[in-house]
Amino acid sequence: MGIQLNGGNCSSFIAVPADVIDKHLASASGIYIKVLLAVIRLNAVDSKKLSKLLAVPESDVKEAVGYWKANGVLDESPSSQKFSEAPAAAEKTPKRRTQPIAMTPEDISAATVEEQSEHDPQIKFLLCTSECLYGRPLTSAEQKGLVYIHEYMGLPADVIIMAVEYCISIEKPHFNYIQKMCAQWADDEINTHTRAEAAIKQLSSYKSREGMVRSAFGIQERALTAANKKYINQWFDDGFDIEMIKIAYERTVDRINKVSFPYINKILQSWKENGIFAPTDLTTKESPRSYQKGQKPDASYDLDEFERLGFHVPK
């Protein structure tokens, strides 16, 4: 049975290109879809008017319009905005890297970059938007690097732009860092706008976690190791907040006179097993004897096991 739209309160309908639904509905962000529908309704692109209509920043409107132009849905004609019957260039199917690519960005010639930016709307969109994010013209090496990520890692232009924007926001705008991040995304099949949004949200969460722990532990001057970061994420994922992590840290320093992530982890895992997740739990579930500074704790964790792990535990 077919679906019919109730037009009782509508004076007209608008047509949406089939390619938008078939190829972009799952991957394009909500704001991109909203901007496209508004453009269709107005039959024109006026970034200020669209920004006011949708109550979103004008920069978001321009980014969305650039996305649809790059994918051939919007006409590039400045005098009117018509919709293409089909995309100017077929959307690339994201592909997963299964092995390292022998080619490097340096193997891409400047002429190749120029030619691709003229004939491939995705490349043009990628380079132009990246320049806007950097606030300056891209160097030749940066241009080659971005083309390399798109062509040989298989990431769509909008996903690469999200990676570039994130790296700039954390003050790591260098191409080597961006390339490494994009290579990991390609391996993990983070190749749609939605997946990239989720990945960035997770990365931001991890950065916040690491910052809180570094501050609580007083280790701002040195970088965290991969093992340190793994412990930190495990603690938060297990349900501990920074207050409980700091208490475990203080007990560790009081006991062995140094910061030890494995030691802290052992305390937290013992608390987890005993359902201790808040400071109030320490007085009701850990031990009838309170733990005070300058005293040794009547710990629920196994100090003998710490010694077996190689830690010196003062008696």
Q: What is the DSSP letter of 107?
A: G
pTM: 0.48
Q: Is residue 177 located within the same domain as residue 112?
A: yes
Q: Is residue 117 located within the same domain as residue 173?
A: yes
Residue 284 located in a structural domain: yes
pLDDT score recorded for residue 50: 84
Q: Is residue 109 located within the same domain as residue 186?
A: yes
Q: Is residue 187 located within the same domain as residue 136?
A: yes
pLDDT score recorded for residue 11: 44
Residue 265 located in a structural domain: yes
- What is d(CA 207, CA 176) in angstroms, rounded to the nearest whole number? 20
| Residue 133 CB-density burial (10 A; 0-12 exposed, 13-18 middle, 19+ buried) | middle
Domain-terminating residue out of 173, 191, 209: 191
Domain-terminating residue out of 191, 207, 232: 191
Q: Which residues contact 29 (CB under 8 A, 6 or more apart)?
A: 64, 193, 194, 197
pLDDT score recorded for residue 56: 80
Q: Is residue 110 located within the same domain as residue 180?
A: yes
Q: Is residue 228 located within the same domain as residue 179?
A: no
User: What stretches in the chain show pLDDT beneath 70?
Assistant: 1-15, 27, 75-104, 287-315
pLDDT score recorded for residue 244: 94
Residue 210 located in a structural domain: no
8 A C-beta contact, residue 69 and residue 60: no
Residue 14 located in a structural domain: no
Residue 28 located in a structural domain: no
Range of the domain at 135: 105-191
pLDDT score recorded for residue 79: 40
Instruction: Tally the domains of the chain.
Output: 2
pLDDT score recorded for residue 253: 93
Q: Is residue 122 located within the same domain as residue 160?
A: yes
Residues written for the chain: 315
Residue 114 located in a structural domain: yes
Q: Is residue 226 located within the same domain as residue 290?
A: yes
